Amino acid sequence: MDKIRIEDLHLRCIIGLNPEEREKQQDVLFQITLHADLRAAGRSDDVADTVNYKTIKLEIMDLVAGSSCFLLERLAEEVAQVCLKDERVQQVDVRLDKPGALRFARTVSVEISRTRS
């Protein structure tokens, strides 16, 4: 399966369990891999034959702007569902990094894979 990667999408949102995390937006880095058959687009050179990753990015930005999840796991699941709305996407891998979530650690990550079936 072919892949489209969106790497280091840097967004801010309310995320976390602690009271201070519920008041102030925090940085979250998104790593997203879309698995799809890209052969038709490779032959036609037409955006109509591929996954429009700009559209997906904008939908993710809208989702994140309005989110207030407690867990990275929940936010990752919601992002995966946005990606799978495009029927060409057969699988999506989503990794969310929350820098500074743990003292002495650069980041904490959650990574999930979801398929259409």
Identify which of 11, 9, 60, 53 has the alpha carbon closest to the alpha carbon of residue 31. 9
* Catalytic residue IDs: 98
Sign of CA dihedral 23, 29, 33, 34: positive
Q: Which two tokens stand for residue 11?
A: 């967004």
Report helix, strand or coil for 20: helix
Q: Which two tokens stand for residue 57?
A: 């990015």
